[in-house]
Amino acid sequence: MLDISLEVFSGVPGSILLAGGLLGCLLIQFLYLRQTDHLSAIPGPWLSKWTGAVTTYYWFIGERAQYVDSLHKRYGPIVRVSPTEVEINDITAIKQIHKVGGPFMKSDWYYTLTSTAVQTMFNTTNAVYHSRLRKLLSSPISDANLKQYEGAVTDRVLLAVRRVAEELESRGVADIYKWMTFLTTDIIGELSFGQSFQMLERREKNQYVKDLEALVSQQPLLTTFPFLISAARYLNLGVFRRVVERVIRINAYAAESVQRYQDHLALHPTNPKPTLFTKVFGAEKDNSLTHQEVVSNAQGYIIAGSDTTAITLTYLIYCLCKHPKVLEKLVREVQSLPDNFTDKECRELPFMDQVMTETMRLYPAVPTALPRTVPAGGAVLGGYRFPGGITVSTQAYSMHRNPEVFESPESFDPSRWENPSKEMREWFMPFGGGSRSKASIHTFFDDFQTCGTICIDPVQKSVLLVNYPAKNEYFLPKGRKNRGETLESAAARETYEETGYPCQLLHHNSLPTKAPLVPSSRDDTQEEHSTGQIKNSERELHTEPFAVQQWVYQDGTRKLIFWFLAVGNSMQLPHENTQDEGENFEAFWFDRDSSLAIATYDDDRALIERAFDALKI
């Protein structure tokens, strides 16, 4: 053990000792980073190799998105912003990072942002836990389920409009963000806990709204100084203590909301009022969720559902006020609706859709970083090798302002969405990507279509599965349909690209279909009528979808998956280099029993079993 007498330092001023200590720490950090810097090849400001202080400064003053965008313009789509964080604005890499079921999990930044040690749908890095919560919460926010709340939502909207009109009449101006916050908070209360928070009736900001507004502006304190936030729970540390007090009050607000609904359940155990959180309360009853998990998820639901939606609605009204011609055109379209119009009819208004989409492009509710952690095995993004544990972030602000995709990107032009290109759809990501997208308002790209196959080798009696080694998952091949492509072509193409095996869709009559037969020639028709028999029995064969699935994401977007029966040859070698960059899939053929044992997802197992049964294999 090194033994140094403190007498050596006697008489040395404390300021010199402190300076020497700081210098020593900086030297150690310099030497450590020099030996361990695996991101040295990535461009960015020289200071970002040693500290993220500059990025943090812009985060504090509310200009991080603009600062990072300026770095992209200077250094390119891959830019380093701190010793351990890189910002990405390359569409191939963005797809890889946000791929549904991919290995890039949320970083610990989300835990510090939510200021809770309890896992929730918004902060968890556990894919299994997130999937379980998503199953509890996704079906209640499907379009079919939300329809039952349309009357209650309409009443809240009409009241909000009256409140804005009253304030304009009395003051000459109106605080739109305040009223939109009241509106969305009331709706979230009604839908989630069966009772509005009555903010529109009260007309004034209560402590909850004041805390919510303050916490939004104080997010940098939560994410930059998590240790001081934790310490402020026990010590009076000024502004940090005030942040903690706001977090505690909002948590108590969520707990009160949960308790009100639990009291309702106790009074009406057989016929409770349905809410978006009813299934979550059921999960607490069977002990699959703790009470604190229910409260923490409720807290996140209230904040995410009210704040982001209020921001989007406020910017929508701002854009319409700034662009009177757009407002005039939209008013004409809305006036074409019948007197008792519904939400469904509103969604079918094309210009309304374009205005909403353009608002979310220019003013996304979440414009800045969505940090993800590179998986343990590392990854290649944008041509650079990233070690595991590094943070990679994407931001909608830069994606939506790419001049190569959006002409005059700083202009508000809803007409650009009349016939959007494939690139525009790909680069539009107002709430992030994947099944972990933020729970908020509908994105107005109602559906996207995915096609896949249950590809059978009838000779070897085997089925084709894709293996994703990074997560050791096995699943049926599928992928998104391209514009103008038929469902059948997309299913065969995606199977080939993911596995390397060509396949042919199976013409079959193993399952009934309501699709009418292809009309025959006039001569054939006359003969069939005269004989009472169909001349060509092959007309009964079809390649109609074998099954259709629907997934509903947190933002209301629906993914429709069309499954087709196909045949392939398991004895041939797969073709090489058919996959997109970063997919790294492997393909295997399994017999019936083995495929049912190894397939990761219940839905895939059900499809495999039905396919083998239908084909009598």
Greater pLDDT, 267 or 465: 465
Chain centroid to Cα 501, Å, comes to 31
End-to-end CA distance of the chain: 74
The closest alpha carbon to 154, from 181, 190, 178, belongs to: 190
Mean pLDDT of 422-430: 88
Residue 13: inside a domain, yes or no?
A: no
Q: Are residues 254 and 172 in the same domain?
A: yes
465 forms beta bridges with: 588
Q: What is the pLDDT of residue 401?
A: 96
How much of the chain exceeds pLDDT 70, in percent? 80
pLDDT tens figures, 188-244? 888 887 888 889 999 988 888 888 888 778 888 888 888 888 898 888 889 899 988
| pLDDT exceeds 80 at position 282 | no
CB 467 within 8 A of CB 587: yes
Confidence of residue 438 (pLDDT cuts 50, 70, 90): very low
**What pLDDT band is residue 9 in, cutting at 50, 70 and 90?**
very low
524 compared with 575, residue with greater pLDDT: 575
In a domain, 109, yes or no: no
Mean pLDDT (whole number) for 591-597:
90
What's the pLDDT score for residue 441? 35
Residue 108, pLDDT score: 85
Quick one: 350 and 408 in the same domain? yes
Higher pLDDT among residues 291 and 385, named by residue: 385
Claim to verify: residue 291 and residue 188 sit in the same structural domain: yes
Are residues 380 and 423 both part of a single domain? yes
Same domain, 164 and 66: no
Query: Does residue 328 sit in the same domain as residue 210?
Result: no
Q: Tell me the CATH number at 496.
A: 3.90.79.10
State the average pLDDT over residues 65-69.
Answer: 97
Looking at residue 550, its pLDDT comes to 82
Is residue 550 within a helix (H) or strand (E), and if so which, with residue range? strand 547-552
Read off the pLDDT band of 139 (50, 70, 90): low
| The three-state (H, E, C) secondary structure of 396-418, written as one string | HHHHCCCCCCCCCCCCCCHHHHC
Which residue would you say has higher pLDDT here, 56 or 280? 56
Q: Which residue has the tokens 């069939």?
A: 528
Identify the H or E element spanning 22: helix 14-36
Tell me whether residue 140 is in a domain. yes
CA distance 67 to 560: 38
Residues 430 and 454 in one domain: no
Count of the separate structural domains present in the chain: 3
Q: Regarding predicted confidence, which is higher, 323 or 269?
A: 323
144 inside domain: yes
Do 140 and 277 reside in the same domain of the chain? yes
Q: What pLDDT score does 508 carry?
A: 62
The per-residue pLDDT for range 560-583, each reduced to its tens digit, is: 899 999 999 998 889 988 988 777
Q: What is the CATH classification number for the domain harbouring 254?
A: 1.10.630.10
Do 465 and 335 belong to one domain?
no
Query: Does pLDDT of 356 surpass 80?
Result: yes
Residues 6+ apart with CB under 8 A from 395: 65, 68, 69, 87, 89, 367, 368, 369, 370
Range of the domain at 87: 38-104+323-438
Residue 436: what pLDDT?
A: 38
Across 276-302, average pLDDT: 75
Model pLDDT, residue 511: 56
pLDDT at 373 over 70: yes
Specify if 475 maps to a domain: yes
Residue 451 and residue 431 share a domain: no
Span 146-150, average pLDDT: 80
Q: Nearest CA to 501 among 548, 474, 463?
A: 463
pLDDT higher than 50, residue 331: yes
Residue 484 in any domain: the answer is: yes
pLDDT at 140 over 70: no
Residue that is last in its domain, among 438, 462, 487 = 438
**Residue at a domain's end among 274, 289, 322:** 322
Mean of per-residue pLDDT scores for the chain: 82
Instruction: Write down the pLDDT at residue 437.
Output: 43
Burial of 15 (0-12, 13-18, 19+ CB in 10 A): exposed
Q: Which of 403, 438, 473 is the last residue of a domain?
A: 438
- Taking residues 496-519, what's their average pLDDT? 72
Percentage helix, strand, coil, to 5, in the chain?
A: 50, 10, 35
Has residue 260 been placed in a domain? yes
Tell me, yes or no, whether 82 and 67 share the same domain. Answer: yes
520, part of any domain: no
Residues 269 and 126 in one domain: yes
